[in-house]
Structure formats: C-alpha cells, structure tokens
Structure 1
Amino acid sequence: MRRLFARALARPLVLAAAATAIPLGSAAHASADSIVVGGFPVEVSDSPWTVALSSRDRFGGTRAGQFCGGVAVGRTTVLTAAHCLGEQVLGSTPDQVDDLKVITGRTDLLTDQGQEVPVRSVWVNPEHDDVSNAGDFAVLTLSEALPAGSVIGMAGEGDPAYTPDTGALVYGWGDTSGAGDYANGLRAARVRVLSDAACEQAYPGNDDGRYLSATMLCAGQDAGGRDACQGDSGGPLVGGGRLIGLVSWGSGCGRPGSPGVYTRVSSVLRTLGWDTAAARQREGS
C-alpha cells in the first residue's frame, strides 16, 4: 500500500490514469514477506466501511477499475484523499469521469460481490496543497445509501486513539511489496501511531517531505516492513475502533525510519465544521 510521485522520494499512494495498476515511477524496496506491505488478508465484512474507488474508463477492467481507497463515514458520505481526484491521477477533473463509483462489500476485486455505487458529487478540499500534501482529503456523496452498519465513527480532537504507541490498522487493495505487486483481495497491516516528534524527525522538510502535525499524523513500526503503498491512498487508518487517518503519502513502502503519513481526521472534522456529535449522527444517516 503506498504512493505515486508527489516529488522526489515522497509520493502519494495512488495509481495513474490509464496505467492499470502500474505506479508512476520506481517503487521503493519493502520486505519480501509483505501483504499490504507487512499485512494480512481480511474480509470486507470485518471492515464494511472500507471501500474502493473505481473507474473502468480511466483504469481499465482489471481489478474492477480500482485506483484508490476510501472510507464510509455516513451512508451516503465517503472520505478519500484529495490527490486521488486530481488531474495528475484521473487525467481530468472528477466531473469529467462519468463512471466514478465506490465499490462496497467486496473483498476480492475480481468478483461481483457487493455493490458498485455511482458517485453523485465530489468535493475536494480547496485548501489541499499538492506540494506539502497538507489538507489531503475529499468528500464523495453517493447516489444511493450504503447498507446500515457500513459506517465508521470518526475520532475528534483529543481522542485517545491519537495517543502515541496506540495500535492501529490500515486497510487497502494496493501494492503488497513496494514493487508493483497489487492485491486483488483486501489487506490490512498492524501499525502504531507515532509521536509528532518522531514524525517530524522522519520528515523534517528535505526531499522526503515535511510532516505538519496540524493536519497529519504518521504511523508505522520502528523496523519498517508494515505500511501503506501505491493504490492505498484515501483508505482508512483505524485506531480504537474509530477512523483516525486517511492514507496520504510517505517515502517508499515499509522503510525503516520512513513511516506512513496520513491525513489527520480531527483536522478533517475541523475543516468541515463537523463536531464529534455530528460525526456520530452521520453513522446512522
């Protein structure tokens, strides 16, 4: 699970339009025994809020046109990464992608399990900075409601799930090795939330990027080996049973000292003006 070039070594975690599961540029080395880079297969029924973004017109029929991940935070509301919906990825603006859909309830992309729900409208955070990767989120409104129970709650400011060393899971259908080995089945990897100090040390503002604690958090393992990779962008990072991050960017896949960087969900709530009570209400909406 990891990223495409945003610059030098730090890159958002998406596929390129018309690339049909081939990343834009060489992928960094990751551990050889990896699945979602250091992860394991899971059933979507265990994380029904994990969805795939799809466009067969732009990405071909292989793997159902999947190019990014997303997470259902309301029955008609999905969060994903802003960079997933940029022209560099889609080859156009989102409104020109006629078959943009969210795939829900499907573990294996090669099956017809679950539903493919058309996206009715797209809102991309206008404050997203594609140089720093700050504010990397977008909101998709679906044309029909997802099944009840398909929604996850969001962690607001001060939630203990953001505490350093908290265990978390990251989910996606992206690269499992950092070398272009894309998963057909959903995978998850166990990581831990790292302190802002550790994240700033990893990404101080050199060619590998700058960590900005107001809008980002990072997670991984000291030894590396467990991470998100290309194709996982926009997918969920879950801690304490709540959504705490969206897969955004990082340097390589599973590298020691280069943890994954995620959009901090508390900053998403703040930007959208959703308080935690409203966020809880959205679970049943």
Structure 2
Amino acid sequence: MNFALILFVLSIVSGVVWAYDRWHLRGRRFAAAKSALDEFDARSRSAAVNPEAVTKERSALRDRLMREPAWVEYTGGFFPVIISVFLLRSFVVEPFRIPSGSMIPTLVVGDLILVNKFSYGIRLPVLNTKVIDNGNPQRGDVMVFRYPKDPSVDYIKRVVGVPGDEVVYRDKRLTVNGVDYPTERVDDYFDGDRVSYLQQYQETVGSLTHRVLVDERRPAEVNPENFEGRENCSYDVHGFRCKVPAGHYFMMGDNRDNSLDSRYWGFVPDANIVGKAFFVWMNLSDLSRIGSFH
C-alpha cells in the first residue's frame, strides 16, 4: 500500500471540496441566512413575544442555516488536517515501525522510529524525484529505502558503501576501499527470540560508533539472488567483493548473520531513498529505548 499516494489523493479531494465550499457554497449560505434572519427579525418586531425566547430561537435558526452540509463537513472539513500530515511526512519526518531483527542491537522489533525526509535532499512526494540537493547518504548512516525488488516495501539498513566504493566482507570482517572498519569485542548479546548468545562488536565508521552482532555458527558464504549490477560482485566461500556503481548504495544490517541485505539482493538506487533514521520515539515493550541512535 502506497500511503503517500493515498494521502495525496485525499488531500486533492478534500482540498477541492474545501475550496468549493469556501468560495462558493459558504457565500450562498450567508446570503440565504441573512435573508431568512431579516425576515425573522421583521416578524419578531411585529409580535409581542419574550425577547429571551426570540434571541434563543434566532440563534438556533442561524446555526441551522449556516451549518455545512454533511458531505462538506466529512470531506472538506478534514482538509487542513490531511494536508498538514501529508506535508509533514513528505518533507520533514515520517514514522516507521521496525518489523524485523535485522538491525539488532541498534534497532529492535517494535521500535517506532522517525526518519528525516530532508537529510538527503527534498524529493517530490509520490514520485520521489529529488528537486533540491541537500547532501547524500554517508557510510554509517541508518537509512530507510524502498526495497529494489518490490518498491512498495520499505527496508531499513546501514549504509556501508557509497558510489565508487569497493566493499569486501570476508570471514565476517568488513573492509571498504582496502581499509578495515575498526572493531572491538564487547559483551555478548542475548537473543531472546533464539534463546542464545551472539558475539557483539563495537564497529567504528568514520566518526560514528555502533554495535554489530556476529553469529559464528553461521557460514561466511553468501548465496546471492540475481540482481541488477551483479557483474560488479564476486562471491566465494569466504564472503564477497562488490564495486558500488554510480548512483547506488550498498546496505547491510547490523545483525550481520540475520539480515537479508545488499549481499543478497543487490544495490539500492538513489531514487529508492526515503530518508535518514535518527530517533526512536516509542517502544511499547521497553520505554527505555526512546531516544536518538547511530
């Protein structure tokens, strides 16, 4: 489901109704109400009635005459809210829910996160075409993007390779352009879903430090799918080597042996970028997870 497209359509429909009411129907209601109230006032002046009752009846008559039709109230009436949500999630921030454990320990299942929509430039909603350049993804960023094999599905992974990089992952060690990412072994991570412990490392990418998990019981060999740009990669029992083509990015999950990522389905084109993830705003199972992350 393309929620952005649904919001766009709702914004257009409700906006048309709102504008039609604002510049056409409302004027007709005012004119009809004024005529009816003038007639009511004339009748009231010629009749001996209780002034308090007249005022109450006049107010009720005015409210009834000025009331929006139901079809306007339940379409155009929601336009300000719908357009505000549409613009906010299109150009500022968009919420997402983490559905899998591929980014453990950085992000866990159930984390509700916010994604910055302008970190990598301003893009037209629905079309996702960049119209204002405001920077590009950097190694180490946690990025949300549309899955290349099914753009209706959003994925979240970490950027490990930018255009032109040579990414090598051999025997579960990551190297980019011939330089090893520094790692430091820390306490093992307990995986409650699998009821087992995984080796945990602190990995440094430029000025950013984050943690990754390695399952030594899993082989280093990768069995890739066919994907566009597959000729830029070579695989063997120890891992793989890939040259990232122009306009594309190489993505990996922090849960290295439990993540379907660019190792398997290929590169992420720039056109598929949604934004940079930066904040956990809620996790109903663990409120202590609320906060920013790298």
Q: TM-score range by the shorter chain?
A: under 0.3
Structure with bigger helix share is: 2
Rg bigger for which structure? 2
The structure with higher relative contact order (CA 8 Å, sep 6+) is 1
Q: TM-score, structure 1 length as denominator?
A: 0.25
Q: TM-score, structure 2 length as denominator?
A: 0.24
